[in-house]
Amino acid sequence: MSVVFLLLCNRTDFLVDTDYFMAVAVLSAQRSKDPNTQVGACLVNQDNKIVGTGHNCMPNDCEGKLPWNREGAKLDTKYIYVCHAELNAIVNASANADVKGCTMYVTLFPCNECAKLIIQAGLKEVVYLCDKYHSPQKIETTLALPVKCCGVFSPVQFIVNVNSKVFIVFHNVNTDPWIETGVKCFLVFLKSTISSLVFATLSCR
């Protein structure tokens, strides 16, 4: 089998690890029932394996019984009830895996409570997608603890690759990619073989 054949048959448009992990966080956010803010988190261990995911939701068995309001009396708002995506990812992972040393991919910059949880759980890195609630005051409360005071970790903003896109169209998943790939590879092999034969013929003249 020629080297050209092997090289041409390799996929180059595969999803790189970091994009995959953030995509899982984005997908997890889609599970949230919060009408205003959907957040997702994906926890990855040191072997580059996903060990937990989470999204912002109400506590177990409370979904549909507690408010998602952002304004009103304290007990009528979501803030005192909602479990953040970071918390859920850590709890979900802890059931089956050690989260120490893990990296968290999260769609929104962690709040103060989650920052403390992340530190206590022993995570080594946080990669966030956006910080839409950024404010100087928040930097004092959220960043102060991990970065300024303890130096435990420094949250890293995810670098968006403009060429990286993920589309999931469920009714397309049933097509057999191996058959398509096989046909493509055969055609490439045929083309390279014919080219080699033509080159060899011309060289012999």
Stretch that binds Zn ion, among 14-22, 52-60, 110-118, 120-128 (CB under 5 A): 110-118
78 scored as a contact of Zn ion (CB under 5 A): no
41 scored as a contact of Zn ion (CB under 5 A): no
Judged by CB under 5 A, the residue of 111, 139, 144, 188 near Zn ion is 111
- Closest CB to Zn ion belongs to which residue? 114
Q: For the chain, what is the HEC assignment?
A: CCHHHHHHHCCCCCCCHHHHHHHHHHHHHCCCCCCCCCCEEEEECCCCCEEEEEECECCCCCCCCCCCCCCCCHHHCCCCCCECHHHHHHHHHHCCCCCCCCEEEEEECCCHHHHHHHHHHCCCEEEEEECCCCCHHHHHHHHHHHHHHHCCCCCEECCCCCCCCCCCCHHHCCCCHHHHHHHHHHHHHHHHHHHHHHHHHHHHC
Size of the site for Zn ion (CB under 5 A): 3
Marked catalytic residue, from 86, 113, 125, 180: 86
The span from the CA of 67 to the CA of 75, in Å, is 9
Q: Rounded to the nearest whole angstrom, what is the least distance from the CB of residue 57 to Zn ion in the complex? A: 12
Rank residues 44 and 114 by Cβ distance to Zn ion and give the closer one: 114
Residue 25: what are its φ and ψ, rounded to 5°? -65, -45
Stretch that binds Zn ion, among 40-48, 78-86, 143-151, 197-205 (CB under 5 A): 78-86
Q: Rounded to the nearest whole angstrom, what is the least distance from the CB of residue 181 to Zn ion in the complex? A: 42
Token pair for 125: 């890195």
90 scored as a contact of Zn ion (CB under 5 A): no
114 scored as a contact of Zn ion (CB under 5 A): yes
Judged by CB under 5 A, the residue of 32, 43, 52, 84 near Zn ion is 84
Q: Rounded to the nearest whole angstrom, what is the least distance from the CB of residue 101 to Zn ion in the complex? A: 21
117 scored as a contact of Zn ion (CB under 5 A): no
Active site residue 180: no
Q: Which residues bind Zn ion (CB under 5 A)?
A: 84, 111, 114
Catalytic residues: 86
